[in-house]
Structure 1
Amino acid sequence: MFNDKKITHQQHGFSLVEVMVALLIFMVIMLGLAQGEITALWTQSRNIFRDEALRLAEDELSRLKGEQFSLSGTSAALTPASWSAPQDVVVRMRRGNFTFARSIQITDIATDATALKRIEVTVGWNHGSNATLLEPTKLNNQTSLSTIIVRGD
């Protein structure tokens, strides 16, 4: 009379809901990875510009340190002055030519015992959408290097 056979359901695949949940989790993970990759590329690009700006500042600082500064005469390049007007420097980089602006300030910091000059070189560049223009280069990114030289007599 009664059939004691138990009905069993055997599952041979995934349901549509399981597939959709798996795809949603995969999409969230991939979006996170894509955002991380975009951030890494942006940071690398900023570092390339910063490294080039530092190289330009180091070159100018080395040139100025080599100028004559002694009792017998001091080079006109080492005349104390406030920030110079930004000078454009065009550099060929990976994706084309880019313009950097370089500004120099020389300050006398002499004491009774020694004659010293402080040389500061600032290099600026435009990168990104930051609208804030920084002094003295009047561009939205910049880096500075400085040194102090003593009179060599």
Structure 2
Amino acid sequence: MAAMKTNKRTRSRGGFSLIETMIAMLVLGFGLLTIASAQVYAGKSAQAGRHRTRAVEIAQTQMERLQSLSWNDADLAATAWTPNVDVVTTVESTSAQTAMTFSRQWRITNAIANQTRSIDVRVGWTDAHGVTKDFTLSSTRFNFEGL
């Protein structure tokens, strides 16, 4: 008789109860939600990175153009910020390519008269949330032609 009671006890403790299964499902659900929200955040961060990368490319292209000009070129004369020039380009998103407008402007200042000039190129854009962002690339140009 005592052996029979022991078997019943071990059989009743042998599996998972409904409560244990529900708790395990709850923990798994929270884990999956956390992973899903991290994936959404990673996608948004990647898109912001693509926008910033495109802005850097636009600024670098303009900087290289200005650096390649002759010292006496009119486009390299000292000036305040130029009016914005819109640059429409495509930016890859997670599902397709999206047309986006960046604004580009530059400023040239004489650092040391007839020897060096500071060049600043600023690129601005509006992100998907309507927040205005900008990137400024700065460089100094030396007058090698005056040597």
Using structure 1 for the length normalisation, give the TM-score.
Answer: 0.81
Q: Is the 8 A contact 2:88 2:101 kept in 1?
A: yes
Identity score, percent: 26
What is the distance in 1 between the residues matched to 2:35 and 2:88?
Answer: 36
Unaligned runs of 5+ in 1: 132-139
What is the distance in 1 between the residues matched to 2:103 and 2:85?
Answer: 5
| Higher relative contact order structure (alpha carbons within 8 Å, sequence separation ≥ 6) | 1
Q: How many residues get paired?
A: 137
Deviation at 1:98, TM superposition (A): 0.9
Deviation at 1:81, TM superposition (A): 1.4
Equivalent of residue 83 in structure 1, options 68, 77, 81 = 81
3-state SS of 1:109 partner: strand
Kindly tell me: are residues 130 and 99 of structure 1, through their superposed partners in 2, closer, same or farther at Cα, counting changes over 3 Å? Answer: closer
- Which residue in 2 is equivalent to 1:101? 103
Pairs within 5 Å for 1:59-138: 59-69=61-71, 74-94=72-92, 95-111=97-113, 115-129=115-129, 131=131
The one-letter code matched in structure 2 to 1:90 is: V
3-state SS of 2:49 partner: helix
- Which residue in 2 is equivalent to 1:29? 31
Using structure 2 for the length normalisation, give the TM-score.
Answer: 0.84
What is the distance in 2 between the residues matched to 1:87 and 1:146?
Answer: 18
What is the distance in 1 between the residues matched to 2:128 and 2:15?
Answer: 50
Give 4+ residue runs of structure 1 displaced > 4 Å after superposition.
none
Matched, 1:150 2:139: no
Deviation at 1:76, TM superposition (A): 1.0
